Chains A and B, each alone.
Chain A
Amino acid sequence: QSVLTQPPSVSGAPGQRVTISCTGSSSNIGAGYDVHWYQLLPGTAPKLLIYGNTNRPSGVPDRFSGSKSGTSASLAITGLQAEDEADYYCQSYDSSLSVLHVVFGGGTKLTVL
């Protein structure tokens, strides 16, 4: 069971907008730690999509955007494309267990219909 909770799956038709939520608690997102998002495609290196809640690395299309509020964060993908079909993970810090450590969400599989 992951410290950060994501929906197991989301889906959308090409051109549509989808959002993926990442829900945490007062020991991670709610404590003010930034949230980051990654895209995983089988057989390829994971790709950083969003860092620091809202920032896109160079080369990531502006169809991808991130937000954070309270103990949750979200990844939004607009103008959905077939190539967006992948697994998406959120990541942050957690300060429980008396030590600061990296935590990931359980991952969300995006299906493009």
Chain B
Amino acid sequence: QLQLQESGSGLVKPSQTLSLTCAVSGGSIGGGEYSWSWIRQPPEKGLEWIGSISHTGSTYCKPSLKSRVTISVDRSKNQFSLNLSSVTAADTAVYFCARVQVKYSSSEYFDFWGQGTLVTVSS
């Protein structure tokens, strides 16, 4: 069974860069033509897709976040990462990593998720 686990700094100062890593176990991140995503949930709000990285290494992001988001994959460590620059209090959220699936569908969906990690932006 595939498992994903987020890790990273739980407290980030405003204007700094938020950095998170998602460790994948129970399967190879490079196995199969999967993409990998980051999704977040601000306190008392709904889910928000941040962006994804495909098996070819290309990235695609929510348009409003595109200028601040960097997503990368480290196949040697079987993990992928998120950097979100110039953070503000509005970036405070639980951040989830997930595997993207496109089988039997005209739109991608997320079949395996991590439990999420809370990141607070505060001075």
Is B111 a contact of A57 with CB atoms below 8 Å? yes
- Tally of chain B residues near chain A (CB < 8 A): 27
B33 at the interface (CB under 8 A from A): no
A92 touches B111 (CB 8 A): no
B63 touches A36 (CB 8 A): no
Residues of B participating in the A interface, judged by any CB pair closer than 8 Å:
4, 37, 46-49, 52, 60-63, 96, 98, 101, 104-116
Q: Judge if A34 is at the interface, Cβ distance under 8 Å.
A: yes
> Smallest Cβ distance from A62 to chain B, in angstroms?
18
Question: In the complex the two chains form, what is the Cα distance from A89 to B110 in whole Å?
Answer: 12
Are A55 and B104 touching (Cβ within 8 A)? yes
CB-contacts of A87-106 with B (<8 A): 89, 91-93, 97, 99, 101-106
**Given A102-B49, A104-B48, A107-B47, CB of A45 within 8 Å of CB of B115:** yes
Is B115 a contact of A44 with CB atoms below 8 Å?
A: yes
Chain B residue nearest to A100 (CB atoms) is B60
Query: A45 to B47, Cβ gap below 8 A?
Result: no
Contact residues in B for A52 (Cβ distance below 8 Å): 104-106, 109
